[in-house]
Amino acid sequence: MDDPLICARAIHFAATIAAVGAIFFSIFIAGPAFSKVDAGARSPTVLRAQFAWLAWIGLAVAALSGAVWFILVAQSMSDTSFADVFSEGALWTVLLQTGFGRAWLARLILACLLAAVLTVSFQRRGKTPLANIFAVVLAGGFVGTLAFAGHAVGASGFEGVLHPAADFAHLVAAAGWVGMLVPLTLWLAAAARDEALAGAAYTVAKRFSNVSLVTVGVLLITGSINALYLAGSLFAITETDYGRLLLIKVALFLLMVAVAAVNRQVWTPRLVQDGNVASNREALSRLRRNAAIEVGFGALIIVIVAVLGMTPPSLHQQAITEMQHHSH
């Protein structure tokens, strides 16, 4: 049954995106904003610790769910029982002799390196630029290489290069948007309680919104490339499970974009209305609520992605249908 694999995939996607999002947020958004907060304030220390925990827990859960995912795939590949997959050397064969195994090996190495760099980066409060650069590159690599565990691989020629590259960028952008929403919500919640943070809330909301513009653009372009290769035709989108799931995913994505647009256009500008404390508080509260709603939509999208990876892509399914008709 595919259900345990779908669960492992969903948890792994969510944990990876959460961990990478926390790292991206700490470096790109929180770092610059903290410099505008009074040095004596206690909240930045608390928030830094929260982001670090988010990254560490995300990485730990990603490691665990990644191991379960790997074992389930190895079991399926080698047609053995759960017990035999450990005893008959199937794990090694999958790890060393298949593309999926080599991708997992590379991701394990990336995760270990990332953990080492994070230890330095978090200890020095993000003030070591070199460690930050390494953390961003390794975190991006860790989430992006998930592309090599899915439908993006398998083709030859130009598609064999463009499709995995587009999927890699898609995953990094997803972590840069959906993954950063959780630490953003934490920040906004803390800012509602602490005046020192509230002063930097506009910087945070604006920076996040600007980064989102870029990531949403990347998601649209790379998502279209993926859809072109996997869904292909109108028939394939409307008449297959894969296509219908993809439509739901796109609908959820558009809802997220709509909520994000309201945050950008309506509530973020209200944060700079000096002197109007009530208006600021309302804006903070609305921003936080909307960010939490976006997190909910993002989680649903991740579940769909976990199922999509297990569903035959529309074009494959369409071709099979045509073959069956042909042979009758």
Partner 1 sequence: MRIRITLVMLLLGAVGAGAARAHAFLDHASPLVGSTVATAPSEVALTFTQNLEAAFSSVQITDGKGVRVEQGKPQISGNTMRVGLKAAGPGRYQVHWHVLSVDTHKTEGNFSFTVSGP
Residues that bind partner 1 (CB under 8 A): 2, 6, 73, 76-78, 93-94, 97-100, 149-156, 241, 244-245, 248, 251-252, 300, 303-304, 307, 310-313, 316-317, 319-320, 323
Closer CB to partner 1, residue 129 or residue 160?
Answer: 160
Contact 268, 206 (CB under 8 A): yes
CB of 220 to partner 1, least distance (A): 20
CB of 243 to partner 1, least distance (A): 11
CB of 113 to partner 1, least distance (A): 25
* Side chain identity at residue 311, one-letter code: T
Closer CB to partner 1, residue 41 or residue 250?
Answer: 250
Q: Which residues contact 195 (CB under 8 A, 6 or more apart)?
A: none
CB of 41 to partner 1, least distance (A): 39
Tokens of 36: 């505008």
Closer CB to partner 1, residue 88 or residue 241?
Answer: 241
CB of 231 to partner 1, least distance (A): 15
Closer CB to partner 1, residue 102 or residue 206?
Answer: 102
Q: Is the dihedral of CA 153, 157, 159, 165 positive or negative?
A: positive
Where do the DSSP E strands lie in the chain? none
CB of 294 to partner 1, least distance (A): 13
Closer CB to partner 1, residue 115 or residue 307?
Answer: 307
Distances (CA, A) of 84 to 74, 80, 90, 195, 205: 11, 6, 8, 59, 52
The C-alpha atoms of residue 1 and residue 261 are separated, in whole angstroms, by 40
Contact 178, 295 (CB under 8 A): yes
CB of 105 to partner 1, least distance (A): 15
CB of 151 to partner 1, least distance (A): 5
Closer CB to partner 1, residue 151 or residue 207?
Answer: 151
- Indicate the angle between helix axes 3-24 and 180-193, nearest 10 degrees: 50
The C-alpha atoms of residue 191 and residue 201 are separated, in whole angstroms, by 7
Closer CB to partner 1, residue 209 or residue 317?
Answer: 317
For residue 81, which phi and psi values (nearest 5 degrees)? -80, 170
Tokens 């565990």 locate to 149
CB of 169 to partner 1, least distance (A): 18
Closest CA to 256 of 173, 145, 151: 173
Closer CB to partner 1, residue 205 or residue 259?
Answer: 259
Contact 209, 291 (CB under 8 A): no
Closer CB to partner 1, residue 8 or residue 59?
Answer: 8
Give the max Cα distance, the chain. Answer: 78
Tokens 């960010």 locate to 291
CA Rg, the chain, in Å? 21
The C-alpha atoms of residue 34 and residue 203 are separated, in whole angstroms, by 10
